[in-house]
Amino acid sequence: MTIHPETIFQQFAEHYRRPAEHVVRSPGRVNLIGEHTDYNDGFVLPMAIDRAVWLAGAGREDGRVCIDSLDRQESAEFALADLRQENAGWIEYLKGVAAALSGGGHSLRGFDAVLTGDVPIGAGLSSSAALEMAAARLFLALSDQPWDPVAGALLCQKAENEWVGVNCGIMDQLASGCGRAGQAMRIDCRSLEIEHVPLPPDTAVVVLDTATRRGLAASAYNERRRQCQAAAEQLGVPALRDADLAQLENLADTFDDVVYRRARHVISENARTLEAVRVMRGGDAAALGRLMNQSHASLRDDYEVSCSELDAIAASAREHPACFGARMTGAGFGGCAVALIDAAAAEPFTAETHAAYRRQTGLEPALYVSMPSAGTEVVL
């Protein structure tokens, strides 16, 4: 579906019988390469996508936050003066953002809001980060406070880490907050330096939704993070970003096999990500595609976060002559893959890859061409 700001503005007016003060759009993201490197102080190469979370809101003076979720057809509310962790589902993300902003020195105003969006939930496209960033942007807009997307991303990461309980890195929130239309972004997850990088000419990115879901908080994500920390300690470096493959090989005999393979993925993935930036600057779509294919193999074999459906849809994509490369994206264990294709062949690629995956798995995937979009913004 296509969401227009005027539509959600009208939906707010119908629900609350008054006009919205602001409409905020916050995109999901797809990561072209650089997976499970962010929490290792490494490099990632995501882009904000043209699917987003939308919030329309108007302030209220009693310190309460009341949200009507149009997609879920349910409402939730909480008091800013009495924030409690209650494992109450999606509203906990907004509570966590409120707690992080308050703890960061922001004085917040309550609000009424309606919430909608077209970022698939649990698909590895950072619907949670998009929701967090939308909430932070609306809180600050309604409180007449300035917006810094990097500072906002750090507070939203804190909300997800400490309130929701998912020990995520900074990539998702930064990608959602700092996107630029038409470009991907290389993020240094240690310095938070962002370099915008154009896609190779005449290419398109296709998100390949396998129609499988795996909850991130319940996954082995936190286990992988602990394994990476153990590997860094054994290598004597602050984070795996500071190691190279030669160092790892020199100590290979001292490593547990699983921890060794986790480290090998992260170290090699950092190198692939930096090489991807170089070939993108040169407009080399074929080289970028090869790096994406190598990334998927490493995630499948060394990091063990792929699954049969992700492998099947990536392989189905690669079989099409218009495809330069394809890989799983996101935390893994289900969700989405991403393909780089010849833009002129988008229609036959999506139709034929859809059919090939359905034949293999019996599942009905969703494929959509995605353009790099602007980051979190007030649109009305």
Hey, which residues are catalytic here?
Answer: 172
Whole-number Å distance between alpha carbons of 290 and 285: 9
Give the relative orientation of helices 149-158 and 127-142 as an angle to the nearest 10 degrees.
120
Say how far apart CA 133 and CA 68 lie, in whole Å. Answer: 17
Could you give the 3-state DSSP secondary structure of residue 125? coil
280 to each of 66, 96, 125, 284, 289, how far by Cα in Å? 44, 37, 22, 6, 10
Pinpoint the alpha helices (H) of the chain: 5-16, 91-103, 127-142, 149-158, 171-178, 221-235, 245-250, 257-281, 285-301, 308-318, 346-361
Q: Hey, is 249 helix, strand or coil? A: helix
Q: Which two tokens stand for residue 4?
A: 């227009």
Q: What are the residues whose beta carbons fall under 8 Å from the beta carbon of 300, sequence distance 6 or more?
A: 306, 310, 311, 328
Q: What angle do CA 50, 54, 60 make, to 5 degrees?
A: 160
Angle between helices 91-103 and 149-158 (to 10 degrees): 120
Give the span between the Cα atoms of 137 and 376, in whole angstroms: 7
Residues 13, 11: Cα–Cα separation, whole Å: 5
Q: In angstroms, rounded to a whole number, what is the distance separating the alpha carbons of residues 54 and 25?
A: 5
Q: Bridge-partner residues for 185, per DSSP?
A: 196
Instruction: State the Cα–Cα distance between residues 271 and 40, nearest whole angstrom.
Output: 13
